[in-house]
Structure 1
Amino acid sequence: MMEEFDLDLRTIHFVDTVNDNLVCCICQNPFIEPVISRCGHTFCQHCIFQALEASPVCPIDRATLDKENFEPAAKIICNMVNELLVYCPRYEQGCPHVGQRQFIESHLKNDCEYTVAPCELEECKELLLKKDLETHAETCKYRIMECNMCKKKLRAFELEDHYNLCPSEIITCQYCETSRPRSEHLSHIDDCPQFKVKCTYEEFGCAWSDQRQELANHLAACPFDSIKNYLHKQQQSEKTLLNELQHVRRENEALKRQQSESWQQIETLTHRLDMMFPGHFVIDPDIPEEARNESVLSENQRLNNELETLSANIASLELKQNMALMTETFRLQEEMQSLRAICHGLRMQMHYIMMDRKTSATNNASASGAAGGTGNNVRGGSDSNATNAMNRMRTWLDPTSSGPKQETKL
């Protein structure tokens, strides 16, 4: 971001002495946006308006004034002031520029080499004088540079670390004094004949160490080479035993955890039982652990036996209840069957009565032309038949009656 300028024209320095007629009597500086009052005096617009806020009179002749009593000064006055020669506001920093006042702000923003500006590189943005930007660009740590060996483009501050890892850099082997690119150096170390190596059987106890080219001669005389099959077999057995040992240790830890959890459960159960049966499940710390274990096991066995006895008693009681319920159910079924038979008999009796009345009504209708006396006899006979039928039904329903009852099956 470029430096933002808020140039105050009152702070700039003029090259020559300024005519008094071009100087504001309030700020004692050449006019800036001059205005003329109705009384004929010229002031800087900002200065006179600020003075009127304190006292609404002319500073020269004390005439009453307000902001409406002013108008812009003649164009020639503005031109005369603007054409005065001034130094660059950065002349104390070294800028030698001299120009008209009207152009000094443009010079400061666009041409002055002593203003501050950021580095053109996006990652840097360091603030510098414009005159130093070109020199800074040549030394900026964010400038893009090319590796002389692999031609890879990197920032300047990354290039030094890259040189220590560049795969195209020529590396000299410290053992055999041969040279090759860094990318091939590691594979060369694995084959370098003068690289110091240890015996193949170092893990079995051989302390030999010398150049790789001498390893073959050493193995021919190494006492461990003659028993290498036995050594490898023992090594394999040792690995197997170690694996089994680790497996056993894991199982042991799992069993310990299970035992700990079991003891916690036993303690919790013992505490609950002690609350239910005080004095029977208190753990005495003086009693040996084995005795306590046997006591817990025997108590557990006793509780299991009691639970089995309770389960058998509950099953027996359930069976008795089922038998009693079945017997009661059969009795109720028999009573229901008897009630159904009684209802059926009542239904048959009611049907008989209705048929009897219907027959009587039919006989009365057929004898409608007979004499009144005869008709009375027929009605009397009909009423007598109905009364006899009701008496028979009551007798049949009466449980105290000794007469025969009709048995009806569903």
Structure 2
Amino acid sequence: MSHTDPMAEVDLHNLTFTETVNANLICCICHAPFVEPMASPCGHIFCESCIYQALESASQCPVDRSPLALSDLKTAVKIIHNMVNELQTYCPRVSFGCNHVGQRHMIEHHLKNDCEYTLLPCELEECGELILKKDMNSHVETCRYRMSECMMCRKKMRAFELEDHHELCPAEIVKCPHCEITNVRSDHMKHLGECPEHPIPCTLSPFGCKWIGARKNLATIHQKECAYEGIKDFLYQQKQREDALHEELNYARRGYESLNSQLEGINTQVSHMQDSLSAMFPSYFQSYRSQDMYNDDEPITDLNDVPLSPQEIIMSDNERLKNDIETITANIASLELKQNVALMTETLRMQEEMQSLRALCHGLRMQMHYVLMERRGNVGGPSTSTAGANATPGASTSTNAPTNPINGITRMRNWIGWSFILRRIMITFRLLM
């Protein structure tokens, strides 16, 4: 983590000057030499930041209380800037040992480039510790984040990692504490697995043997005297049975835990369902709610007085709903059968009516054809009266005798009546179709 020196940015108001500063160069607000001096129309001079803060609270000059606004301020004359910048001041790091003295406007440059007592972050990014500039070189040489090399395996790492690396370095020479043989650390663990002087427990220690001794004495001395050696086959068989039983027990335990989790999930779902059904059908759960008011000290004399649980109520409601659904299904089937029979009967009746209407229409068509043919024969036929054989000579004879007008009107009326009846029948037939 990188850090910065808190004195990198100089506060010009808090500098220590070598001599007493002229009172004409002192700001009447902060009582320090001017910093970026600003002049008011009334002739007073203030630090720029000081007068800005003063005008935020009151729009008047802090000295003579005359009206003053930010737009009225102007930068002070150049000679004022030069006089306050040329004041001699000590380095802000004088308390750490820096004896530098210089003009005020050069102090910031001195801190950033020349001051040996400025705090700088360590050159190593992982460290970031603030160190005096004069001590930077010595710090880098001893910093715990510097790169170092193991003298045994020549591996490079940070200095703080090297301290722990010495205990695990595979190239370091390690002496066996049991047989005094030296090996590199990478081979030391292998040697401990073969060292004849390394103390080990008896191979039957899991069954109760408490002997611990040198590896070379296990086969030559102890196994001949071990009380468990004669029954080791039985002990191993017993251990296999125990392992099998433990495995079965663990399997049963996992199954039990799985069933418990499923049961908890089912209970949660049932509880939510009870709440939903209680809100939808409060009358069915009234007896269960009254169970809290039931007196447990009084004996139950009638089984009908025992309040039903929500599960029993739900089951009874399910049976009732199932019976209702079966009844409704049977009624619907019966109604559908009746509707089919009625539809078939009505269809047959309509077919008979349509047949009769077709026959009637055919009869009317034939009659209309007869009427039309008769009318055409009367209109276009030969004359009904001709000149007789005994007609008086010289008398005029008529070639087209006129027909009876009463018979023509009667035929026209009949024709109009039959046309009207035929039109009504056609309209009725279209409606039935």
Please state which band the TM-score falls in when normalised by the shorter chain.
0.5 to 0.7
Cα distance in 2, alignment partners of residues 246 and 207 from structure 1 = 30
1:240 aligns with: 244
AA aligned opposite 2:235: L
| Structure 1 partner of 2:212 | 209
Check whether the contact 1:274–1:280 (CA below 8 A) recurs between aligned residues.
Answer: no
Deviates further, 298-307 or 175-184: 298-307
Distance 1:91 1:344, change over 3 A: closer
Instruction: Output aligned runs, 1:137-286, within 5 Å.
Output: 137-217=140-220, 218-250=222-254, 275-276=283-284
Instruction: Give yes or no for the alignment of 1:344 onto 2:358.
Output: yes
The alpha carbon displacement at 1:329 in A equals: 2.5
The correspondence of residues 367-406 of structure 1 with structure 2, limited to 5 A, is: 367=381, 371-374=400-403, 376=405, 379=408, 382=411
Classify the secondary structure of the residue corresponding to 2:203. coil
1:374 positional shift: 3.1
Contact 1:118 1:126 in 2 (8 A): yes
Report the count of equivalent residues.
344
Of residues 104, 122, 126, the one that matches 1:123 is: 126
Q: Deviation string for 1:313-351 (max 9, x for gaps)? A: 556545543443343233212211122112212321331
Unaligned runs of 5+ in 1: 14-22, 29-43, 56-66, 73-77, 398-410
Q: Secondary structure of 1:210's match?
A: strand
User: What is the RMSD computed on CA atoms of the aligned residues?
Assistant: 5.9
* Contact 1:117 1:127 (C-alpha < 8 Å) held by counterparts: yes
Cα distance change, pair 331–94 in 1 and its aligned pair in 2 (3 A):
closer
Shift of 1:365: 3.4
8 Å CA contact 1:199–1:207 kept in 2: the answer is yes
Cα distance in 1, alignment partners of residues 104 and 286 from structure 2: 109
Instruction: Determine helix, strand or coil for the equivalent of 2:174.
Output: strand
8 Å Cα contact 1:199/1:208 also seen in 2: yes
Structure 2 match to 1:11: 17
Q: Deviations over 1:38-86 (max 9, x none)?
A: xxxxxx9x99989x9349xxxxxxxxxxx99x898xxxxx9xxx9xxx9
Partner SS, residue 145 of structure 1: strand
Q: Measure, in 2, the Cα distance between the counterparts of 1:234 and 1:371.
A: 145
> Is 1:366 aligned with 2:380?
yes
2:373 pairs with 1:333: no
**Offset at residue 227 of structure 1 (A):** 3.4
Per the alignment, in what secondary structure is the counterpart of residue 168 of structure 2?
Answer: coil
Instruction: State the 1:211 CA deviation.
Output: 1.5
For the residues of structure 2 that align with 1:244 and 1:257, how far apart are their CA atoms?
Answer: 20
- Would the aligned equivalents of 1:368 and 1:375 in 2 still touch at CA under 8 Å? no
Amino acid at match of 1:379: G
Question: So what's the TM-score if we normalise by structure 2?
Answer: 0.57
**d(CA) in 1 for partners of 2:325 and 2:109?**
109
Return the structure number with greater relative CO, CA threshold 8 A, min gap 6.
2
Shift of 1:25: 9.8
Residue 362 to residue 103, structure 1, CA distance change in 2 (3 Å): closer
Name the % identity: 31
User: Paired residue for 1:63?
Assistant: none
C-alpha distance in 1 between matches for 2:290 and 2:105: 107
Q: What is the aligned counterpart of 1:53 among 15, 40, 43?
A: 43
Alignment partners' CA distance in 1, 2:269 and 2:127: 67
